[in-house]
Structure 1
């Protein structure tokens, strides 16, 4: 194969010492017509040489290459986003293979759909090396003085040829700015097209006239050195300062700014346009590092705060703690990938064969990359602003916290106590951002995206950086309380409770113990229409099922750690203990009886907070105010800090549409069922709304035999359950999984230590209490575990066999044949513990009614 090619202009070939295989040729022009004038002859020359020519069409301008049968045309939609657009072009190049020639539309047309120059530079830097690798020649055009210096520099650094094309006094001048790997004495002078020749402009008089013309044109342009994204906000600022600006023009600008910074999800976007003023959008921009979206988590938090503060019927500003947040734009994520040479690996990872296989390699690259100096400078300014205040670095991806996709717990968040030298604090922050970027390649996140059909979607990772809400208490920092609030309570465990009243999970200290299933500890579950009612009160001792540990930030160790609640309350007497805790008189009595030095003992019940303050009424009002605007149930995370004996402020740190199903369904359960036909029946203790479902298989774990295993055997048993789970596909089998204690715990003494991917083919999940042990269900509404359940469509039931009004026919269940060996196709070593039952012959129905809170599973 010849290693040189022609431009279609022999005189220009002479100037450039010919085009060389692998060249990317960028034409910097004043108009698309000028670019077309030089692209068409290149195509004609290439076709004459029997080359395969591919035209990439994506712009609104007139086609560079007219329709013709000997030129392949691929029409792209740039509005789908950077990653989708770039991925599709990558695949076109991959399929075409070695030796194809390309013409692309003018790259400047990508500014409008992408709203930034930065991503144009990233597209070129991601695409150009792949074209070079496949021995292609490609033509690109950019409009002069339309892009930031940084973008043009990125293109210049990446391309092989950068040619300035000028149209002056009826003649064309080509000024080679970069011609890689070749040289001639006059190559980098301007060359005037005269007939078939391109003659170097060597006269100083002629050069001066030409460059005077160029300078005059450039001088008439303003703001040419800044990114298109920033220009849009400068225009918005001018509009805001114009007293005669029309309201419709202001609304259109709000719409545009929300579209490029808040998000793409239509319902969230509509609310943002309504509830964000132009001033607020400019304030967000002033706290934005880079360009692009702030992501779902940041958008949800800001939107919820605005909904409350703009409410006319309540003085929310007296109760809401102002947030202090910065945002790392989603474009920084892609820039980081491209600048660190990871784009091709990312494209390979997105293929079916590479999706899981290459994730670890990409994760490692993301952990060890380097940010551009301009981004690091912005990081430093932000860190200077926070000083030594503790901060939390939180994932805020495009798809996160949207209608239909919560991504709860799939990406990382990192608390930084933020102690040490400025250099140490900066290094810790950079590492946290990289850690969150790398979490996009975790098995959990990849499986979630795959399961929900999002594996090929743009999933840019923005970052939300917040000053941690709380107070300094000696060596510790933490909020008085934190929790999760849900505006529709599908887990109402008593008939008189109203699901519409909502509920809370409340803890002392950082909110991590409210949003995650923690080991051997329990948040306070609060039904907002009966706050003092406890789900566990008629089952076990209140002390046993209360919060016993608190998460805090420790200045001495510079870590996020856990401390015993009693120890914390004694070390921090300034806490408003009366509102949060009660004396544990029984524990104090027991210490005296054992002649142990008496010490005040507490139980975190929040009794006085719930009974003597307006906390529950306020939280319910907050949830319902946001729910009304969303026209959908919501799920929020919050902190609470006291500012008086019975007064407090709430910091709303996250809000999203509640990912719950079946909340409006109506199921009629038969009133009279023969007792011997009932497998289980209970009232309350369920999550998932109303369902009526035929059960095909039951996987039952014997509690007593499970307890008899050592920890390593319990983990091995969990893997065996995962194997059974993979064989029972939900698409053709409705499965009920029943086991002792907590599913998904990391502490085997509390339940079965499976990962969620090992139980994801379950339709009904049952956690069973078992007498004489720590095996107890954890009512996990609002946790990340709960989000996994509802997004996968899994109904949850907590079963307390010894409780009044509960039926569980264990003997009937175990009388059915165990088919585990048949399912696995081999002898199971846990056949005496894992009992798999085929219910297709004896029809088994599972029904739950959200109104009565009755759930029953019976043979029909």
Structure 2
């Protein structure tokens, strides 16, 4: 390796005081040919000096470097997305090591894949410094007048050399705009190339002619203030206003749909079929930044449009309009890049740093600063909504897609939105950071890792929605909210139709429907028989009903929970709604009176009148079936509903996604001649997951009597111990495992069950929750919740056992005498060996069978 690094032109080297190790050289040109004119001699000189030459090939234009000895060519695909592409480039640079000489295809070609200048600027800002660190020299090209002023400014700020090239009257001119860390008297004048010589252009006539040519070729300055993304939508608006031909409009619609909705094929096809070009322009008008709107926003918008297009059900009069904003996925990466966290981001993608670096990154994300232009747009959101409550919701690229729900993995933040403009803005920024930081949560990372998504682009877009509901005194909440699924795998009687769908309904905010609530029970509604209940007598109806209401406390500026009975007696103008959703509990009122307690109305949230005297259930079933038909797949929706002044109920679909369901297995049959002593337990109904026939190899059992004696911290330790046993399993096929225990698994309140994280049970095959009368530990049939989604996506069969019900039998003698291999499996002495029993089966064969048609379940030794 001999000689100084060179451009290949001695005259140009003289002007630039030679290329220096670490230089990134950006050539701003009018054509690819002009860029190629300067690439060729640079490569030839580098090969002559026996440099390691690397060509990054990703564009559609003609190759800049011919295939020859000494040149390593990497073929890259920018369509895989910004992150995957950038990571691939980073890894190549790492592997090629110190001192390599690089040629990159024209960066302007990346807009065909990414549709935005912003991401080209981001790519350069993370790649250029890394090349500098490794003492390389790299050539980049960009087309003049093709990018926004902002993007060119970011490139100028980051690079070491920025050179303008003009091809005028058969001559090449080079005009250095930035040359870092060196200077010569004529360096920043235009220079005319004459063979190997570059002569400064100083005569007045020559200068005037050259710059006259430059100004004639310049793009309208007003358009140069726009990102390429904005120019795409301006063109789309022009097509509509000029009544462009149908083929061109369809092409524009296809392109805009692809760059906004995403690459997931089925969802993208549905978006292209459903949205008009005008719809996409309207969405962009409420988009902050650029990039994808994400799965949650796409699902909500698709559902709204599908329903409004359906004339049979007249959803124009039965739905609430929305006025949401979307924060594009590009803003997320720009936030990471501008705060200079990309190296940490790359470290987090490695196997060693996957969890460790994530915690550092999470803490940084919570404290970062947004670019000024993004802060200005955030301010517009706050000013638009005023003091109306809003919710900032995750809407990542992979979220709510076919196959990956990400249910509950990322945060959503309610903002009651009270206080001064500055206070409201600060709270909004903090909420955005919180949702961004949730991409680095352990649950989200484990989910991505388990589903093979850990190396995929997972940009976080955001959906900012006005909270649906009304002010009632100092509180704000909707009349109704819940979850609806078009296919009901939780059927507790054999004559129920799974295809009819199901609702999980609450009074107030929908948080109590989508999460496993503590010591409370949303109403489960089978849409083929809305009045049918899992529990029939009034005592159990009252016990297994919703008693608390989630709402926004305007006076305290926070999310709060109030007892339904207290709300009902506060005189908040709820009379009509209460009559529709609640029944008076006369017996409870009589008991209060006889006990000398303060007299007040005792309400039980049953929703009986709503279901028996209105078309609510029929309307919701129609909605679910309309969406299912459009998706050609079962769907899962979140909704709110409010009574208008005319008494009509208006529904607002706030989320819609493909329903994650277990495949319907072939019918199975339970042997009729199993001897009683061989049965571990049997039941009828209260299962989720369809039919199952599985041979179990491990049983982990939490002993109810012993568990309830423990303190809160000890109960958490029990959960962590179960997590250790779970980690020993590679997957569900390794040792099919049955988990059994009292109350609700995954609860955040240890007194109600075992407080495991889902990542601590994700390798189990069957989860069984047992009612235990002695400690008020009851299962919660949580179909439609985030917990349910985890079970379905984890392919975990679920059963709830109620020992006091008919057809339920638990072999307590066997559990009491069950051998315990806990210490042996853990490889250490465990102080909870009396609480957790673990047993592996080799000689004996333990089988669990459930027939979805008869709703019969049995676990027995064969």
| TM-score normalised by L of structure 1 | 0.98
Q: Distance in 1 between matches of 2:491 and 2:542?
A: 22
The residue number in structure 2 matching 1:260 is 259
Q: 2:306 corresponds to which residue?
A: 307
SS of residue matched to 1:856: strand
**Which of 826, 829, 832 is the equivalent residue of 1:827?**
829
Farther off after superposition, 710-719 or 639-648: 639-648
Task: Tell me the equivalent position of 2:689.
Answer: 688
1:721 aligns with 2:711: no
CA distance, structure 1, for counterparts of residue 321 and residue 633 of structure 2: 25
Any stretches of 5+ residues in structure 2 without a counterpart? none
Encode CA deviations 1:625-662: one digit per residue, 9 max, x unaligned: 11111111111000010115752100000000011103
Partner of 1:610: 611
Identify the residue that residue 805 of structure 2 maps to in structure 1: 803
| Cα gap change, 1:672 to 1:323, in 2 (>3 Å) | farther
Q: Is the 8 A contact 2:473 2:572 kept in 1?
A: no
Tell me, in whole angstroms, the C-alpha distance in 1 between the residues paired with 2:539 and 2:294. Answer: 43
Give 3-state SS (helix, strand or coil) of 1:652's partner.
Answer: strand
Contact 1:814 1:835 in 2 (8 A): no
Aligned counterparts of 1:3 and 1:418: Cα–Cα separation in 2: 65
Conserved 8 A contact 1:662-1:690:
no
Where do 1:389-788 residues align within 5 Å?
Answer: 389-537=388-536, 541-575=540-574, 576-644=577-645, 646-663=647-664, 665-729=666-730, 730-788=732-790
Higher deviation after alignment, 587-596 or 319-328: 587-596
Classify the secondary structure of the residue corresponding to 1:103: strand
CA positional deviation for 1:252: 2.0
- Please state whether the residue corresponding to 1:827 is helix, strand or coil: coil
Segment drifting more, 393-402 vs 40-49: 40-49
CA contact (8 A) 2:145 2:219 kept: no
| Partner Cα distance (1:626, 1:220) in 2 | 45
CA apart distance, 1:417: 0.7
CA shift, 1:714, in A, is 1.2
Residue 850 of structure 1, CA deviation: 2.1
CA distance in structure 2 between the aligned counterparts of 1:170 and 1:252, rounded to whole angstroms: 38
Indicate whether 1:346 and 2:355 are aligned: no
- Is the CA contact 1:663–1:850 (under 8 Å) kept in the aligned structure 2? no
Is the 8 Å Cα contact of residues 848 and 857 (structure 2) preserved in structure 1? yes
Equivalent runs, 1:177-256 vs 2, <5 Å: 177-218=177-218, 223-243=223-243, 245-256=244-255
Q: Which residues in structure 2 correspond to 1:155-166 (within 5 Å)?
A: 155-166=155-166
Give distance in 1, aligned partners of 2:570 and 2:386. 26
**What is the CA-CA distance between 1:804 and the residue it aligns to?**
0.6
C-alpha distance 65-425 of structure 1, shift in aligned 2 (>3 A) = same
**Contact in 1 for aligned 2:628/2:635 (Cα 8 Å):** yes
* Residues 599-647 of structure 1, C-alpha deviations (whole Å, 9 max, x = no match): 1111111111111111111111111111111111111000010115752
Distance 2:301 2:759 in 1: 33
Paired position in structure 2 for 1:9 = 9
Moved more, 720-729 or 495-504: 720-729
CA-to-aligned-CA distance 1:479-517 (integer Å, 9 cap, x gap): 011000011111111122111111111111111111011
Displacement, 1:664? 5.8
**Gaps (5+ residues) in structure 1?**
none
Matched residues, number: 859
Measured after TM superposition, the shift of residue 45 of structure 1 is 1.4
Larger mean CA deviation between 807-816 and 172-181 belongs to 807-816
Say if 2:49 is the partner of 1:66: no
Deviation at 1:247, TM superposition (A): 2.4
| Mapped contact 2:297–2:463 kept (Cα < 8 A) | yes
Deviations along 1:437-479, whole A, 9 cap, x unmatched?
1110011110110000000000010000011100011111110
Q: Which residue of 2 aligns with 1:122?
A: 122
Q: SS of the counterpart of 2:655?
A: strand
In the alignment, does 2:848 pair up with 1:857? no
Q: Which secondary structure does the structure 2 equivalent of 1:147 belong to? A: coil
- Tell me how large the CA RMSD over aligned residues is: 1.6
In the superposition, relative to structure 1, how do residues 51 and 539 fare at CA in structure 2: closer, same or farther (>3 Å)? farther
Q: By how many angstroms is 1:571 displaced?
A: 2.0
Counterpart for residue 53 of structure 1 = 53
Higher mean displacement: 160-169 or 544-553: 544-553
SS in 2 for 1:725: helix
After alignment, is 582-591 or 733-742 more displaced? 582-591
Deviation for aligned residue 1:829 = 1.5
User: TM-score scaled to structure 2, two decimals?
Assistant: 0.98
Mapped to 1, the partners of 2:16 and 2:337 lie a distance apart of 29
TM-aligned CA distance change 1:50 to 1:307, over 3 Å: same
Give the distance between the partners of 2:495 and 2:606, measured in 1 at CA. 22
